[in-house]
């Protein structure tokens, strides 16, 4: 398969594929860095953290998926592929809304999962354990908030925004600033996911 054909095949699926790859890399590579070895216990603890984080963020994930349907309805952005956006030939459809909601919930969960893995680095740093020099990071200063938890959401949001805009197969100028801004706002909801999950867990103990 030539590069151009591969790009043509990959573009429509680029967001879910890359987000899955980021989540998988975080879950597989970060826990051994924090806990020191890749054992069954390490990944069992990781899964426990993920279950708590995902169960905590589910109400927010559903809210994001459902309450952002107006973005899809007005044609300024979607969590699903751009092909679901309404046009003169194909108006707003229920199937498009379902795809948008499903993708939105999935991406919020992905952002929360990466953030939940990142909080292990925050705990390691705050407890005096220092995994950062091993991978070239300087010791992280006390910022008053969990930076790697936030970073997980920001990474997922950045991947989503960059690849979603790429999926339109047009330049940023050609898309129009309403579409660019709508996509960035949708990405911001993803970036906030880990912090919201932590807040819900702290407030309600899900």
| Total number of domains constituting the chain | 1
Question: 117, 140, 3, 104: which is closest to 49 by C-alpha?
Answer: 117
pLDDT tens digits for 113-161? 999 988 777 666 555 555 554 444 444 544 445 677 888 999 999 999 9
Tokens found for residue 83:
């092909």
User: CB neighbours of 172 closer than 8 A, spacing ≥ 6?
Assistant: 165, 180
CA distance 170 to 193: 29
Distance of alpha carbon 15 from alpha carbon 81, whole angstroms: 9
Structural domain of residue 66, as residue ranges? 3-204
* The pLDDT value given to residue 145: 52
What was the pLDDT predicted at 32?
Answer: 85
Spatial contact of 44 and 102, defined as CB atoms under 8 Å apart: no
């Amino acid at each position: 398969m030539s590069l151009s054909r591969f790009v043509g095949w990959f573009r429509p699926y680029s967001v879910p594929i890359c987000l899955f790859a980021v989540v998988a890399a975080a879950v597989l590579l970060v826990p051994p860095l924090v806990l020191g070895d890749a054992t069954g216990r390490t990944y069992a603890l990781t899964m426990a953290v993920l279950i708590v984080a995902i169960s905590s963020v589910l109400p927010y994930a559903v809210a994001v998926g459902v309450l952002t349907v107006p973005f899809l309805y007005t044609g300024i952005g979607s969590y699903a592929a751009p092909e679901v956006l309404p046009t003169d030939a194909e108006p707003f459809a229920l199937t498009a809304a379902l795809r948008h909601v499903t993708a939105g919930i999935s991406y919020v969960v992905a952002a929360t999962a990466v953030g939940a893995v990142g909080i292990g680095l925050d705990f390691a740093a705050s407890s005096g354990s220092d995994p950062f020099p091993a991978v070239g990071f300087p010791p992280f200063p006390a910022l008053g908030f969990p930076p790697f938890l936030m970073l997980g959401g920001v990474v997922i949001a950045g991947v989503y925004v960059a690849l979603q805009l790429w999926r339109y197969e047009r330049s940023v100028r050609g898309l129009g600033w309403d579409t660019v801004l709508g996509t960035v706002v949708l990405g911001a909801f993803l970036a906030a996911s880990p912090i919201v999950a932590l807040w819900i867990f702290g407030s309600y103990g899900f």
